[in-house]
Copies of this chain bind each other. A is one copy, B any other.
Amino acid sequence: MPNLATTPAEFSITDLRKEFDVTTRTVRHYEEIGLINPSRRGQTRVYSSADRTRLRLILRGKRLGLSLEDSRQIIDMYEPGKTNIEQLNSLIHAIRQQREKLNQQLDDISNLLKDLKKSEADCINALKTNRQN
């Protein structure tokens, strides 16, 4: 059976750059600060699909206005691995804080959207009025 359009398990830095529309500098920067850890074939970076996912999460965070440190925290929330009860509790706390912040953002966005819809309507009205002169 031919291997039809399977998502590859390996990516070059250029693959990622093109897919996510960022520069290679950006991708390497995320590695510098320890957000991604590609393996190497010789000197060349080789990204796994897990690396790719992390990059996607980082960029989603950026669209939401998160700092890279914020994103680091959130990404860490996906793989606790910490069986320690105290750590689990503090993790839950952190998660709840993030959720609160996001709910505030939802509120802000819906208000801003409302404002912008009104502005757009006003503009369109102004255009109509203008046309009748």
Known contacts A102-B109, A105-B109, A112-B102; A123/B88 CB under 8 A: yes
Known contacts A60-B108, A109-B64, A113-B99; A92/B123 CB under 8 A: yes
Interface hits, A32-91 → B, CB 8 Å: 60-66, 74, 77-78, 80, 83, 85, 88-89, 91
The reply to whether B85 and A127 form a contact with Cβ atoms under 8 Å apart is yes
How does the 8 Å CB contact mask read for A18-43 relative to B, with 1 for contact and 0 for none?
00000000000000000000000000
The reply to whether B120 and A80 form a contact with Cβ atoms under 8 Å apart is no
Interface size of A by CB at 8 A reads: 42
A1 to B95, CA, bound (A): 51
Known contacts A65-B63, A105-B64, A112-B60; A126/B88 CB under 8 A: yes
Q: Is A14 an interface residue (CB 8 A)?
A: no
Which residues of B are found within 8 Å of A126, using beta-carbon distances? 80, 83, 88
Q: Is A12 an interface residue (CB 8 A)?
A: no
Could you name 8 residue pairs across A and B whose Cβ atoms are closer than 8 Å? A63-B65, A64-B109, A65-B66, A80-B123, A85-B127, A95-B123, A105-B105, A105-B109
